[in-house]
Structure 1
């Protein structure tokens, strides 16, 4: 909505999991969308992810830095055209740093289980998983557990509004909280919530800001691989 009676507020959904509405302004959303469109082009472009059981994910994906496939990382698109994965740009690391600071009030080096050091240590973000959802796409409950780092996960939304289901680290079932993520929203989860199950049970088609020029939803997930 352009105007709301009660503006959406920053909310801690669970310990270490924070939703920050409208974190990206309209100009930054457009810049990020343009970058995503370039990354989605082949080679190493947008692909359908196939699971070990023979199924396919309804959300399509492109990766930066390292290529994720169920359930590991590679330097090439091993389940696609086998092209070298596109590089992870430094400005995405800067964006992730700011996101963690704004959401959790602490840099990622302090938000993960790194022993105290004489000087602050920054572990750079080096992987992006970009998922494209059309109106019928979904994402089942899963954990981001393939990384060797426990730095917070940064999630950015563009386009259509979705229902983001954020659960707990123990089970795919309840308790969980459904959060409405709109275009420009930020969601960060780390600490005790770093391995919480989460998913997208619903996308509200046709809800993207018209000025963005996007049909569907893009989710940009930024991680520290620790590899």
Structure 2
């Protein structure tokens, strides 16, 4: 496992081996069944290219009412609990002082991307956002704490984990594209990204 630092982002390359990745996928299946993926709409009315759902006490949603955390899926059911194998990653890399209350689950299909954005809907920026990559490779772009300026990119592979904390907590970042079917983890291809957050 290699540890890289890029603009304050700590990148653990190969943190999860193949067996650990498969265990995570198995742990996510019941979540996706009880709280199905949905395609969110931005406040401006634009449909996002990723599909998403959440686990934990809170889930992140967006619609014409704005970006926010709420305690129920848009279809009205409570979010499922965050699985133990996912929490174990947070405990190992962040600690046990406080558990995340949201695990956002994004699915990237062949043409999905995520524009440069800040994670700023949380109440306490002293806790990092921890990101887990599963499935196809993703071209991850890191910008600055304000819009514009030079950016840097690197490929994230299945099993990589990124920790966004400290001075980098509010840095703009995004996913420009994925290499569809570059991984065999998901039989139909695509990428699952888990982001663990302290939202309250």
> Structure 1 length normalisation: TM-score?
0.80
Aligned to 2:102: 127
**Which secondary structure state, in structure 2, belongs to the residue aligned with residue 188 of structure 1?**
strand
CA offsets 1:138-158 (integer angstroms, 9 cap, x no match): 111111111112201110101
Matches within 5 A, 1:159-174: 159-171=135-147, 173-174=148-149
Q: Shift of the alpha carbon at 1:87? A: 2.0
Q: Does 1:197 align with 2:172?
A: yes
Q: Does 1:61 align with 2:62?
A: no
In angstroms, what is the RMSD of aligned CA positions? Answer: 1.7
Higher strand share: 2
Task: Measure the CA separation in 2 of the matches of 1:90 and 1:74.
Answer: 22
CA offsets 1:160-206 (integer angstroms, 9 cap, x no match): 001011111111x3322101100111111100000111110111111
Aligned to 2:72: 76
Query: What runs of 5+ residues in structure 1 fail to find an aligned partner?
Result: 1-7, 101-106, 109-121
Aligned to 1:147: 122
Contact 2:27–2:83 (CA under 8 A) maintained in structure 1: no
Q: Which has the larger radius of gyration?
A: 1
Aligned to 2:196: 222
Task: Measure the CA separation in 1 of the matches of 2:193 and 2:180.
Answer: 15
Q: Does 1:22 align with 2:18?
A: no
**Which secondary structure state, in structure 2, belongs to the residue aligned with residue 39 of structure 1?**
helix
Change (3 A) 1:183 1:214: farther
Task: Measure the CA separation in 1 of the matches of 2:83 and 2:28.
Answer: 12
> Structure 2 length normalisation: TM-score?
0.90
Aligned to 2:33: 41
